[in-house]
Amino acid sequence: MELNQLMFFLLAGLILFFSVLAITSRKILRAAIYLLTVLIATSGLYFMLNYEFMAAVQLTLYAGGIVVLIIFSILLTSHISHKFEQPALANVFAGALTGILGCGVAIWSIIKFPFVTTTQPALVVDMKVVGTQLMNTGDYGYALPFEVISVLLLAAMIAAIIIAKKGN
Amino acid sequence: MDFNIYDFTSFTTWVHNALTSSMSPGWAMFVELAIVGVVFIAFYAVIGLYLVYAERKVCALIQNRKGPNRVGPFGLLQTIADLFKLLMKELIYIKNADKFLFNLAPFIVIIASFMAIAALPFAKGLHAIDLNIGIFYLFAVSSLGVIGILLAGWSSNSKYSLIGAIRSGAQVVSYELSVGLALLSIVIFSGSMQLSTIVESQANGWWIIKGHIPAIISFLIFLVASTAETNRGPFDLAEAESELTAGFHTEYSGIKFAFFFLAEYMNMFIVAAIAATVFLGGWMPFHIPGLDGMNHVMDYIPPFVWFMGKTAFIIFIMMWFKWTFPRLRIDQLLKLEWKYLLPLNLMNIVLIAFIVLMGWYIK
Amino acid sequence: MEEIFQDIIIKKSDDYIINMGPQHPSTHGVLRFELCLLGETVKYIIPHCGYIHRGIEKMCEKNTYQQIIHLTDRFDYLSAHMNNEAVCLAVENALEVEVPERVKYIRTILAELNRIASHQLWWCAFGMDLGALTTFFYGLRDREPILDIFEESFGSRLLHSFNCPGGLMHDVHPNFQKKIKDFIKYFRKILPEYDQLLTGNIIFQQRSIGMGILSKEDAISYGVTGPSGRGSGFKCDVRKHHPYSAYSKVDFKEILYTEGDTFARYKARIDEMWESLNILEQLVDNMPAGDYTVKMKPIIKLPAGDYFQRVETARGELGCYIVSDGNKNPLRVKFRTPNFSNLFIINKLASGNKIADLVAISGSLDLVIPDIDR
Amino acid sequence: MTNDQLKEKINGWISGLEFPENKQYLEVVVPAESLLKLARLLRETPETAFDYLFCLSGVDYGKQLGVVYHLESTTHNHALVLKVKTDDRVNPNFDTVCGLWRTAEWHEREIFDLLGIKFNNHPDMRRLFLDDEWVGYPLRKDYKDDINIIER
């Protein structure tokens, strides 16, 4: 086995293992930490693909941003002695069934997809290309979605401020 | 082999070639990783310990004292003795604490600082990995350390720790913005996020000089915001000893406490190194165009010394802050960021974009 | 009467309670604050004291008047001399003994030196409370010359017990005057450094101006005296209004500020150090020669009755109330210590502010815990 | 106001009060039931305006228990000593004055703690220095503690 493959299986194994832990843990903060590990391992996959920009975005936004916010809200709301109750058996079964179904669909589509092996060297993603593409208004440009998302975020922020103000 | 302290490229290629010729590429890579890891751990330990020593000496200087001067010449071995003391200390277990997270927290803090140190260019050709998004990566990794602090505060099951952790969370999340935006200004100037390119672009002058007013503003903002992000005085609210006894690490003892302690100093080193790299030219010597004689003398000083010298200078400024200013209050801290630093930063970035567009900086 | 009890604390079962102390760096000793927090904001504060109550008042009832003096050092250890003086003056007034002029001068000089030393230590600790750690070493450095003067003359640095009814234990060291003059010269030069390091600092001012405002009415009603009370405009300087020892012979200002916030209390103490230097300067050159004590009987018996003596310590008004039934032991001795009254204003001042402000406010009240517990 | 004027004024409010000899301050002995009334008049009348209670002490006279109030007016600069005594050693109680002078609240708690004098209508009548489970009142003359107090 090559080192590359070893690395991939290691990361994939980490992601699978901690995903299962994250949903089965009965302590909420531990679940958040397992989720963090999953996200960091995912960014490791991006690093393997030489897509460093995506990897750094994954680290900043998900690991550094969203998980910190999740942990922060857990800190404010829950106590250390709090534990989730064991879910009802029917729920466990329904959840497992949905999980297996989703997994099956994913595996099926991966098997069905005609992957073509190339001998070309790995593509180096130039940051300038990413930048111009993001701000491009022409074909395949991301300027419009970018702006629409910013409006959405603005709306969310205003809503948050209004909710926070209501207390006073 | 051609070993040259002014350019490590030939040395690193020699090591790489020697390894690949004697074993399979996979193993060669593995050995390289191991070497880099060992070097970094050793470097980390030495820098961490001697920053503690430096802080004690600087603080003694400011406070009309002598500082450590008993163990070894000038007290140089004092912090090593302290390390042994901390290693031997009993690890106190807290009843009702979440043991797993309680033990995990110091490691998260220290791993985050390890990840950041990997991307720093110490001298020409001397860096572990030269990512093409170097600055972005540093910014991303530096935001992970706070998770360790939050965990430490919550899992100790102590109210003081929890308040410290919440303070630190609010503080780091806010000040990250200013740090990122201040670094962005130099990205605009140099047109690259790769640290080696940024350093190369300062061969004819550091950005703080070439970028004049807006670069100086960014530098000052970066200095303030990064001091806050590393939880150092006057922004050390997370561990404010007069209010929260020790904040998030109140319940830690022995080597686990030492991890937090070491990580704090390493974070200080990392932000100082980033500032030195981005604003003060990294390992580039100080050059004044036209004065060839002086420039040659400056070139004679090895790049590694330049880098460490600049870093030490910024660390000194940060220590100077800490030992002269009183601590801010939490609302003042957040007000400073959201009402003053952030708007100033955004305006500064617009200004920089304009200056770069017009070409009004020193090329 | 109900309207006056509006600030009475009502506890609820879901309050977020945090214990500050008895082992906490910013309570300056074994005092415990029971804080109720609402996020960072303090809802109410219940001070708990008595961790080092030694029963000094009970001990006084078993001892003679000379012995009592040695106990009084132990409550406010930073103004030990003034505590001694209170008992001595009470006994001397009761017996109608006139002490020599020299004794009055020396007592006043010592009181002012002690006041400066105490304010210096307060300044150190106050800076520490606000997170400015360097102040601690500046203050301690400048306190050293004063302690040296004490040590040279009476062999101890903190708890002198140098007074006795009728005068002093023995005469001061020949170097006394010269050393004090040196100190005045040195400290006049060094005191502006305090302003440079802390007073002018923008963070310090932001944290102290307008924080914990104590109105004059509250200061009087709660009996907050000393620099803390004078920061609110309460004219409570015993030295000025009920002069004792040599205070009637010196010309000095009563430091008054009307703002009543932390900064005013801070400024009042800094200004008091300047004023103490003035007093010292007026006294040290004119020290009359003469006896250091008057002859007293070995066993002092006060005539039956009540005796009250008010003295200004570094923290406020100290009252020494002696009830005598004519025996060699007092029937009851009560010390009205300044910190006991000053402490309980803390809930009024700090509730509604942040935790950090509570630390700053309790620092600005200059609490000495043994003085509360006695 | 001079001491004589004060005496006259107090006599005008409540007659038959005892004014013992005291060289330092004017001294008044009040019966327990009219303590609060006199205190309120002293505090609230503009001519007297005793707004500063600078000492509040409990005294065990051997047979009697008493409380001594040292009052001063910050506007008129006159002072007065109020004394109140009781023979009841089992359940001594007086009215609280902490509605008039807030500092009295903790001084009264201290007296309750050490001398066992209860103050009616006090908002928080608990022990101040000692444990809530402490038996006895240490400052009383008849207090016995074989371990901590050595009788000579």
Between B and C, how many residue pairs show a Cβ–Cβ distance under 8 A?
Answer: 83
Q: Quick one: closest CA in B to C136, which residue? A: B63
Q: What pLDDT is stored for residue A102 in this prediction?
A: 93
Most C CBs within 10 Å: which of B227, B323, B325, B340, as the mutation test of the C interface? B325
CB contacts of B236 in chain C (<8 Å) are 131
Q: Which amino acid is at C273?
A: M
> Inter-chain contact D103–C8, Cβ cutoff 8 Å?
no
Domain borders along chain B are 92-358
Amino acid at C335: F
Residues in chain A: 168
Q: Provide the mean pLDDT of chain A.
A: 84
Residues of D in contact with C31 (CB under 8 A): none
Tell me if B150 and A124 make a contact (CB, 8 A cut-off): no
> What is the CATH architecture assignment of D3-120?
2-Layer Sandwich (3.30)
| Chain D contact partners (≥3 CB pairs within 8 A) | C
Is B249:B160 a contact under the CB 8 Å cutoff?
no
Which residue range forms the structural domain that includes residue C42? 2-373
Interchain pair A74, B133: CB under 8 A: no
- Under an 8 A CB cutoff, do B242 and C130 touch? yes
Q: What is the DSSP letter of A64?
A: I
pLDDT for position A28: 83
**Contact at 8 Å (CB) between B259 and B109?**
yes
pLDDT value at residue C4: 52
CB-CB under 8 Å, B326 with C127 = yes
pLDDT at A144 over 50: yes
D128 φ, ψ to 5°? Answer: -105, -50
**Closest to C130 in 3D by CA, of C182, C202, C179, C191:** C202
Q: Which pLDDT tens digit goes with each residue over B219-265?
A: 999 999 988 888 887 888 877 777 787 778 888 888 888 888 888 88
Q: Tens digit of pLDDT per residue, chain C (374 long)?
A: 444 555 667 777 778 888 887 888 877 878 888 888 887 888 888 888 888 888 888 888 888 888 888 888 888 888 888 888 888 888 888 888 888 888 888 889 888 989 999 999 999 888 888 888 888 888 888 888 989 888 888 888 888 888 888 888 888 888 888 888 899 999 898 888 888 888 888 888 888 888 888 888 888 888 888 888 888 888 888 888 888 888 888 888 888 888 888 899 898 999 998 989 988 888 888 888 888 888 888 888 888 888 888 888 888 888 889 888 888 888 888 888 888 888 888 888 888 888 888 888 888 888 888 888 88
**Residue B104 pLDDT > 60:** yes
Task: Report percent pLDDT > 90 for chain B.
Answer: 5
Assess whether chains A and D touch, using the rule of 3 or more C-beta pairs within 8 angstroms.
no
Mutation target to probe the C interface, by most C beta carbons within 10 A, among B242, B245, B250 is B242
CB-CB neighbors (< 8 A) of D63 in chain C = none
**Interchain CB contact of C11 with D (< 8 Å):** no
In terms of pLDDT, which residue wins out, A112 or D8?
A: A112
Count of domains forming chain C? 1
**D contacts of C317 (beta carbons < 8 Å):** 54
Cβ contact A29–B153 (<8 Å): no
Instruction: Assess contact for C26 and C41: CB atoms under 8 A.
Output: no
pLDDT-derived band of residue A97, with 50, 70 and 90 as boundaries? very high
Average pLDDT over residues D32-40: 84
Q: Would you say residue D28 has pLDDT above 50?
A: yes
- Would you say residue A45 has pLDDT above 80? yes
User: CA nearest A27 in B: which residue?
Assistant: B98
pLDDT reading at A155 higher than 90: yes
Q: Is the pLDDT of residue B4 over 80?
A: no
Residue B214 pLDDT class (50, 70, 90 cuts) = confident
The stretch D141-150 carries a mean pLDDT of: 78
Q: Name the minimum distance, in Å, from the CA of C238 to any CA of chain D.
A: 12
Give me the pLDDT at residue A105, please: 94
Mean of pLDDT over chain D: 83
Distance, in angstroms, between A113 CA and closest chain B CA? 30
* Beta-carbon separation of A75 and B139 below 8 A: no
The rounded distance, in Å, linking the Cα atoms of B192 and B278 is: 11
Contact B63 C136 (CB under 8 A): yes
Distances (CA, A) of B105 to B156, B263, C26, D11, D100: 10, 12, 28, 75, 55
Query: Rounded to 5, what percent of chain C is helix, strand, coil?
Result: 50, 15, 35
Dist. CA B224–CA B235, nearest whole Å = 9
Phi-psi region of B69 (alpha: psi -120 to 50; beta: other; left: phi over 0): alpha
* Cβ-defined contact of D114 to C57 (cutoff 8 Å): yes
Q: Do C53 and D101 touch (CB under 8 A)?
A: no
Sequence-ordered alpha helix ranges (H) in B191-329? 195-200, 207-210, 212-229, 241-244, 254-278, 292-300, 303-324
CATH number at residue C16: 1.10.645.10
Nearest to A56 among B25, B140, B153 (CB): B140
The whole-angstrom separation of Cα D38 and Cα D50 is: 11
Q: Is C344 on the interface with D (CB under 8 A)?
A: yes
- For A101-132, give one letter per residue: b (16+ CB within 10 A) or e: eeeeeeeeeeeeeeeeeeeeeeeebebeeeee
Cβ contact C317–D54 (<8 Å)? yes
CB contact under 8 A, C8 and D123: yes
Long-range contact pairs involving D83-91 (C-beta distance under 8 Å, separation at least 24): D83/D20, D83/D27, D83/D28, D83/D29, D83/D30, D84/D29, D84/D30, D84/D31, D84/D32, D84/D35, D85/D29, D85/D61, D86/D32, D87/D63, D89/D65, D91/D118
Residues of C in contact with B324 (CB under 8 A): 132, 134, 197, 201
Mean pLDDT of chain B: 84
- Residues facing residue D67 across a β-bridge: D58, D84
Q: Is the pLDDT of residue B155 over 60?
A: yes
DSSP state of C247: G
Q: Say if D45 is an interface residue toward chain C (CB within 8 Å).
A: no
Flag if A127 and B132 touch (Cβ within 8 Å): yes
For residues B159 and B101, give the distance between their C-alpha atoms in angstroms, rounded to a whole number. 16
The answer to whether the CB atoms of B101 and A30 lie below 8 A apart is yes
- Interface mutation vs chain B, best among A6, A33, A48, A67, most B CBs within 10 Å: A33
Quote the pLDDT of residue C3: 46
What span, in angstroms and rounded, lies between the C-alpha atoms of A105 and A67? Answer: 28
* Nearest residue of C to residue D40, measured between CA atoms: C1
**Whole-angstrom distance, CA of residue A151 vs CA of residue B264:** 38
Which residues of chain B lie closer than 8 angstroms to C207, CB-CB? 326, 328-329, 332
CA nearest to D66, candidates D28, D13, D100, D39: D28
Would the CB atoms of C218 and D102 count as touching at under 8 Å?
yes
From A62, which residue of chain B is nearest by alpha-carbon distance?
B140
Q: Do B173 and A3 touch (CB under 8 A)?
A: no
